[in-house]
Amino acid sequence: MKLDKNTVIGFTLLAVLFFTFFWYNNNQQQTYLKYKKQIDDSIAKVEASKAPILDSVKAKIMAAHEDSARKIAIGGKLVSAALGTEQTTTVESDLLKVTFTNKGGRIKFVELKNYKSYDGKQVVLGAESDKLGYAINTGGNAAAQTTDLYFTASSVAANKDGSQTISYSLNDSLNKPVIHTFTVKPNNYMIDWDITLATPNTTLTGNQLNFNWNSTTMQHEKSAKYERQQMSNLCFYEGGDFDYISSKTEHKFEKPTNWMAVVQQFFNTTLVAKNNFNSGNVKWGRNTVDTATELAKVEAMFELKVTGNNATVPMQMYFGPNEFKILERQPAPEMARIVNLGRDMYSFVRPINQYIIMPIFSLITKFVTSYGWAILLLTIFIRLITAPLMYGSYVSGAKMKILRPELDELKKKFGSDQQGFAMAQMKFNKEAGVNMLGGCLPALLQIPIFFALYSFFNTNIAVRGQSFLWSKDLSVFDSIASWHTSFIGVNHISLFTITAVLTSFLISIYNMGNTPTQDNPALKYMPYIFPFILFFVFNNLPSALTWYYTVSNLITLILQVVIQKFIINHDKLIADIEQRRKNPKAKQKSKWQERYEQMMETQKKVQELKAKSGGNK
């Protein structure tokens, strides 16, 4: 077949059209498939997102069914009580705002109207997780905790004495009433709680009321770590004696116990049994996370025997401050000892606090509104009382200062012979009439006073929230700089701690002028090291205490300068020393002096023997 020009052009056009059609059709097909894949992927994602929701809904439905089945099982004949709905009622007094719940017929939490937490909110004692109840029989060999049952609440009744009463009731397996009656009294942190059981022998197993108390303490102070580790503990009155646990995590009550308190730095929650618990045990643990607002958890179990029909078990609960005078007025015995004015090895400072520091400080604060200036006046009072005892030590210090050049010469004479120098120094001081122990008296006096005030300011709720100078709250450290990362245990700097350390350093430097030159590095640099150690000890302490220490140091420094510069007659002292040397009075040595001199003499002989044996070699 002969192909002309037009035929070739025609075939070429047809080929182009054919390939163009197939290319376009294939491109459209690919676009369609890509679009279809996007739709399929979107549908798959939607279906995948529905699955967890459906699973969650199914899980919630199953949990609800299981919870209902559990409640029906534990409720026995009290199914309606097990399947109720929680309702709360609030009762207020001048001091408290108490929230009651029908779930367990109990106190849910309590707000203290006159106290605020570190965050500016009202102090609330009790948490959502807190439970306090006991087991009752529900029929068919089943039992339930009252905290899992819903009581019927009465209306709040106002009484003639200004108190308010609310009751919660339910019927037991024999349709006999179990009633919880609460009375909130005016101007009182103690709430009465009466449990009335119509037939204890059927409501309870073995007529035994088995209390279970789960409690969580929440942060109320600036430093959660300090409040949890240093100030939180459990106190109780067992066998007619007050006791407590702090470092221990559990305790078994083997004697009749009247009350147990979950104690924080300035507040506590206390469960009181007027007829005493027969026995029980408690476990508690501090939160290991320093920044957690939940400080500790308490799990306690108490047993109490109930006999007779229509029996009433009188209970009480205290929600309030650790204020000595308030706790002292409570009907429960020795609740005032919840306030730690000195315990265990520091119990000797409790009488100092109770009968000296507290009355004087209370008297001062009646006339002085600023607690910072009240602490200054308290410090002056303490120093005035101790001044007569301190005067002798200041006189000894003045004599030591006069004798220092001679002692330095004596030290050079003996060189490295420390025992020989010690013996010569003792004889030298005796001739001059210097009491070596006189300088120790100020330090010895500071020990009981410091520990007394440490306990006092750590637990005195009166200083809580009181501002002074740059400190916003005298009950906590006065941080002027802080950082998140702890460096060698420090994450802030307290300015009153700095002033306390600096004044201690000044006293050390001043007193160095009264002692002979030291060659021993440990003794030579101790005046510089000791204030540095004080910084780490004081940095977390209440600013009330570090302010007291600052004032006390300043008074000590001023007294030493004034007594030595203006009161003590140095010329008379020098004449007295010279007279003693010329006419030494025979004085019988004490047994301690005799033994000390014998020991020094023995050490000297030993050193001489060692030196001779070394020379012979």
| 227 contacts 295 by C-beta, under 8 angstroms | yes
Calculate the CA dihedral of residues 491, 494, 498, 503 and round it to 10 degrees: -140
Task: Record the tokens describing residue 367, joined without a space.
Answer: 């006339």
Question: Which pairs count as long-range contacts for 280-286, CB under 8 Å and 24+ apart, including other chains?
Answer: 280/211, 280/252, 280/253, 281/250, 281/251, 281/252, 281/253, 282/234, 282/250, 282/251, 282/253, 283/249, 283/250, 284/234, 284/245, 284/249, 284/250, 285/249, 286/228, 286/229, 286/232
End-to-end Cα spacing for the chain: 138
Tens of pLDDT, residues 296-352: 889 999 999 988 888 899 999 999 999 999 999 999 999 999 999 988 888 888 999
**Cα-to-chain-centroid distance, residue 420:** 51
Residues present in the chain in total: 617
Q: Assess whether pLDDT exceeds 50 at residue 586.
A: no
Q: What's the rounded Cα separation, in Å, for the pair 365 and 500?
A: 23
Q: What's the rounded Cα separation, in Å, for the pair 81 and 75?
A: 7
Q: List, in order, residues 6 or more apart from 595 with CB less than 8 Å away.
A: none
Beta bridge partners of 99: 90, 109
**Cα-to-chain-centroid distance, residue 41:** 58
Task: Go through 435-456 and write b for each residue having 16 or more CB atoms within 10 A of its CB, e for each that does not.
Answer: beebbebbeebeeebebbbbbb
Task: Record the tokens describing residue 330, joined without a space.
Answer: 């409570």
Residue 21 pLDDT: 55
For residue 325, give the nearest of 464, 189, 155 by alpha carbon.
189
Q: Assess whether pLDDT exceeds 60 at residue 520.
A: no
Q: From residue 594, give the alpha-carbon distance in Å to each of 64, 422, 590, 591, 604.
A: 86, 14, 6, 5, 15
Give me the mean pLDDT over the 433-452 stretch: 68
Q: Given the structure tokens 């510089």, which residue do they identify?
A: 528
Identify which has the larger pLDDT, 137 or 410.
137
> Which class for 525: exposed (0-12), middle (13-18), buried (19 or more C-beta within 10 A)?
exposed
Helix (H) or strand (E) holding 314: strand 311-321
Looking at residue 266, what DSSP letter applies? S
Residue 109 pLDDT: 92
Per-residue pLDDT band for 64 (boundaries 50, 70, 90) equals very low
Identify which has the larger pLDDT, 378 or 585.
378
Q: What's the rounded Cα separation, in Å, for the pair 316 and 69?
A: 35
Q: Assess whether pLDDT exceeds 70 at residue 580.
A: no
For residue 455, give the nearest of 564, 545, 597, 340 by alpha carbon.
340
Give me the mean pLDDT over the 513-530 stretch: 60
Q: Does domain 79-339 have CATH number 2.70.98.90?
A: yes
Residue 363 pLDDT: 94
DSSP 453-485: HHHHHHH-GGGTT--BTTBS-TTS--EEEEEEE
Beta bridge partners of 299: 214, 283
Q: Where are the alpha helices (DSSP H) in 275-370?
A: 324-328, 350-352, 358-367
pTM: 0.76
Task: Record the tokens describing residue 17, joined without a space.
Answer: 């059209």
Domain ranges of the chain: 79-339, 354-585
For residue 214, give the nearest of 99, 297, 295 by alpha carbon.
297
| 476 contacts 496 by C-beta, under 8 angstroms | no
Per-residue pLDDT band for 1 (boundaries 50, 70, 90) equals very low
Sign of CA dihedral 453, 456, 458, 464: negative
Tens of pLDDT, residues 270-289: 999 999 999 999 998 888 77
Tens of pLDDT, residues 336-361: 999 999 888 888 889 999 999 999 99
Average pLDDT, the chain: 79
**What percent of the chain shows pLDDT beyond 90?**
34
Helix (H) or strand (E) holding 550: helix 543-562
Q: Assess whether pLDDT exceeds 80 at residue 456.
A: yes
Q: Where are the alpha helices (DSSP H) in 194-313?
A: 200-203, 224-226
Tens of pLDDT, residues 94-134: 999 999 999 999 999 999 999 999 888 999 998 888 899 99
Identify which has the larger pLDDT, 399 or 151.
151
Residue 241 pLDDT: 93
Tens of pLDDT, residues 68-95: 445 555 555 555 666 788 899 999 999 9
